Chain A
Amino acid sequence: MPEVEFSLNLVWFILVGMLFTGYAMLDGFDLGIGALHLFTKTDEERRLMLNSIGPVWDGNEVWLVTGGGALFAAFPMVYATVFSGFYLAFMLLLCALIFRAVAIEFRSKQPMRWWRQMWDIGFSAGSFLSALLIGVAMGNIAWGVPLNAEHEYAGTFFDLLKPYPLLIGVTTVALFMMHGAIYGVMKTEGELHDRLRGWVNRCIIFFIVCYATSSMATLLYLPHMTETLKQYPAFFAVALLNMLAIANIPREIHKGRDFNAFLSSCAAMLALMVLFGVGMYPNMVFSDIAPENSLTIFNAASSQKTLGIMLIIALIGVPIVLTYTVCIYWIFRGKVKLDRMSY
């Protein structure tokens, strides 16, 4: 385990991680709303669910696109190995994301019951599957996948469905459902609001069970994920913060401070991603058959010049993006109301 030193590679490891964290925090809630969608009963409730994410979901998905682009630019080896190696899994993810996007757009365009039912299922199944597959992919990267000497994936699709990655997949679904339920509480009022409040508590329990199980599994079976943590015990504070943030959610919900609950959920996600990043460092894809074949932030990166150019692009672009993202969320603050522009 080398000493952690400052380098452009590390900066980009953190930046790519930030983009995917942003994706989890933002698209996480709308995937969660999707996963909960079928639990609502009336057409009006379902429209409220859809419209709570209406103005923002495709902006949220852009974080994934940009994260993918940044990965391509900064760590092309990782992009190439993971995307070609997990071919069918990514195709399924694409399928799910497309279905979901189309379902949001088209569901309320026609009044027929069968039409809306069909798209409701498409929206919900697509959201659920997307969350699951994202989790499974992360689980595999943590567990390790067989990489050969050319850093190419040497397994099959079914090798990706090991218990640990599946556990991480389910944990991700639970996390996004909890996050989505909190967002729903924040955006709705009346009966649906009260029901969602009840779901938050169930989702938290579901998530904590998954989280505890996957943490145990990680500690037991994945020693490489804890090395950096052992070397820099200060990071344990992040694990502690993570627990506190999760514990804070029911407290804030109980006191009716919905926005604080949402922030806590975001903080928990951030802490989880930091722990994931610290655990992986310096690997980006761990090779379980031969650790020396792993893709690291050094052997998978673009040239220093490109990382430098990209950093300038990021320094110009990201503050602008953050500014208007915040402005747009501000414009659409408050409870969602249905009008004739709604989905």
Chain B
Amino acid sequence: MDVLLLSRIQFAFTAAFHYLYPPLSIGLGVMLVIIEAIWLKTKNPVYHQMARFWTKVFALTFAIGVASGIVMEFEFGTNWATYSRYVGDVFGSALAAEGIFAFFLESGFLAVLLFGWDKVGPKLHFFSTCMVCFGAHFSAIWIVVANSWQQTPAGYHIVGEGLNARAEITDFWAMVFNPSSMDRLSHVICGAWQAGAWLVVSVSAWYLLKGRYTDFAKRSLKIGLALALIASLLQLVTGHDSAEGVAKNQPAKLAAFEGHYEANGPAGMYLFGWVDEDGQQVKFGPNIPGLLSWLVHGDASAPVTGLNAFPKEDRPPVNFSFQMYHLMVAIGVGLIALAVFSVIMLWRGKLFEHRWLLRILVVAVLGPQIANQAGWFAAEVGRQPWIVYNLLRTSEGLSKVVTANAVLSSLIMFTFIYTLLFAVFVYLLNHKIQHGPDEADLLPTGRLARIMEEPRADA
């Protein structure tokens, strides 16, 4: 195998693995803030127990997120050195800002969140939880800004020629607010909120099915479901905005998402299908004529740029982008339906009676994870063959001095370590869930106990 393919596989694999965790941290971070706020307000000890339990789950995902995140930061330099030289001036500043503004905040206050229960007062603890949550969101901001700049470069100029060419910042804020960054950021954050919210819903539903910790589980489920509903509905908006942005800024990517070849004709949308890339058509798929034209331009007969408008070497892999995009959309819509339906059932007081629904909620945790992964695959594969859109090809971004054998060995190493890591993660997560919330956590200790001496709001 050649070094380009190996490097791409390694980057995709390590990024995909890494991306299992940060969305959970972001989503659980929001959950923790809500839970602790309710605790401070009501002083009901079950929310303290809840905060302690979900904090432990948070810590687990955070630890693997950090460990696999360092890999990502090194990999730009190790495998994509030419790319790093080309974009360092622009991309590097976003990455450094992420370190300074986000990671320090997150990791610093996580110490208080995890180990400070007995050492600080309740308000300072709540403040720390908020800081961890902010930190998680800041890191999403900067990394998505950096990635969006690769998709829709702005605020830069190219200096030098040939091998020495590189992008330099001309306008920092234009770089930060490049055409796709805000759409994609909101889309990513809603996806992350769903990841955290559905995890809480899933574990709680499982407890309810088993008849364990019922009070704890019902309350957790309600909070989780509320966030899941809000995030999944918002996702509809951010998803639509992102698609419009792709239509405008990366027409080849949008055309690949829908398998739309005709250079300049009205386009429909497929519910599903299989793209025959040689025959340039979508097979087996029910087509809704004009829908893409309507969604993008508000007119069902308006032309949408198709793949044939681009030379072959400038087109992304069509079928793969198509499948990933459709998978993401299908799951996204499914999650909206599930969230709305569950909330209605909850409203009617019937949610906890229907075991089949609880079973679906247990499995629902996989939904946002698969959709998040598929969405990133669609976004990144759809960007091909460019590493920086219309500026630098992925094949040109490689490290020149790294051999295929070196990448193969590191790929084997990562496969081994990450398999082990994942197994350990699942094992420990399962262990924590089986063990359940701690009875002792119903009684806060140390300085946190002070809050219990004050009168309860719901007493």
Contacts and interface: CB of A to CB of B under 8 A. Distances in A.
Contacts of B409: 88, 91
Contacts of B98: 69
Interface in A213-233: none
B103 A65 contact: yes
Given A91-B413, A340-B440, A313 B66 contact: no
Given A102-B63, A313-B93, A328-B112, A66 B424 contact: no
Nearest to A313: B97
Given A72-B76, A98-B67, A62 B107 contact: yes
A104 B92 CA distance: 30
Contacts of B93: 73, 302, 306, 309-310, 313
Name the prevailing secondary structure of the B interface residues: helix
Contacts of A61: 66, 70, 107
B431 interface: yes
B123 to A, nearest CB: 14
Contact of B417 (A99, A321, A342): A99
Interface stretch (B33-41, B43-51, B376-384, B394-402): B394-402
A97 B63 CA distance: 12
Interface stretch (A146-154, A189-197, A237-245, A261-269): A146-154
Contacts of B105: 321, 324
A73 B146 CA distance: 12
B239 interface: no
Interface in B65-113: 66-71, 73-74, 76-79, 81-82, 84-85, 87-93, 95-101, 103-105, 107-112
Contact of B71 (A72, A94, A342): A94
A90 B78 contact: yes
A76 B413 contact: no
Interface in A274-315: 302-303, 305-306, 309-310, 313-314
A98 B71 contact: yes
Interface residues of A, number: 67
Contacts of A302: 88-89, 92-93, 168
A102 B112 CA distance: 20
Contacts, number: 226
Interface stretch (B114-122, B213-221, B362-370): B114-122
Interface stretch (A38-46, A78-86, A179-187, A203-211): A78-86
A59 interface: yes
B115 A341 contact: yes
B79 A309 contact: no
A52 to B, nearest CB: 12
Given A69-B95, A80-B84, A90 B104 contact: no
Contacts of B406: 87-88, 157
B89 A306 contact: yes
A25 interface: no
A317 B67 contact: no
A302 B409 CA distance: 32
A82 B413 CA distance: 21
Interface string B146-180: 00000000000001000100101110100000000
Interface in B423-459: 424, 428, 431, 438, 440
A306 B94 CA distance: 11
Contacts of B69: 65
A7 B379 CA distance: 40
Nearest to B99: A66
A288 to B, nearest CB: 16
A77 interface: yes
B84 A79 contact: yes
B295 interface: no
B54 to A, nearest CB: 14
Nearest to A340: B440
B107 A58 contact: yes
B82 A79 contact: no
Contact of B67 (A85, A101, A306, A331): A101
B15 interface: no
Interface residues of B, number: 73
Contacts of A106: 424, 428
Given A66-B104, A303-B168, A331-B116, A83 B401 contact: no
A83 B74 contact: yes
A296 to B, nearest CB: 15
Nearest to B399: A84
Contacts of B119: 331-332
A99 B64 CA distance: 10
A332 B128 CA distance: 14
A332 B111 contact: yes
A157 B110 CA distance: 38
Most buried by A among B88, B163, B172: B88
Nearest to A342: B115
A318 interface: yes
A30 to B, nearest CB: 13
Interface string B224-251: 0000000000000000000000000000
A103 B413 CA distance: 17
A313 B67 contact: no
Nearest to B431: A109
B345 interface: no
Given A79-B84, A80-B84, A58 B66 contact: yes
A64 B66 CA distance: 12
A168 interface: no
B70 A80 contact: no
Given A65-B70, A321-B108, A332-B115, 12 more contacts: A58-B66, A59-B108, A65-B103, A69-B97, A74-B92, A79-B88, A102-B67, A110-B431, A152-B401, A305-B169, A313-B100, A328-B108
30 contacts: A59-B104, A59-B110, A61-B70, A62-B104, A66-B100, A69-B97, A72-B96, A73-B93, A73-B95, A74-B92, A76-B166, A80-B85, A83-B74, A84-B81, A84-B399, A87-B410, A88-B409, A90-B78, A97-B70, A102-B421, A106-B424, A152-B401, A154-B401, A302-B168, A306-B92, A314-B100, A324-B109, A325-B108, A340-B440, A341-B118
6 closest Cβ contacts across the A-B interface?
Answer: A76-B88, A83-B77, A73-B92, A66-B99, A317-B100, A55-B111
Interface of B: 59-60, 62-64, 66-71, 73-74, 76-79, 81-82, 84-85, 87-93, 95-101, 103-105, 107-112, 114-120, 159, 163, 166, 168-170, 172, 399-402, 406, 409-410, 413, 417, 421, 424, 428, 431, 438, 440
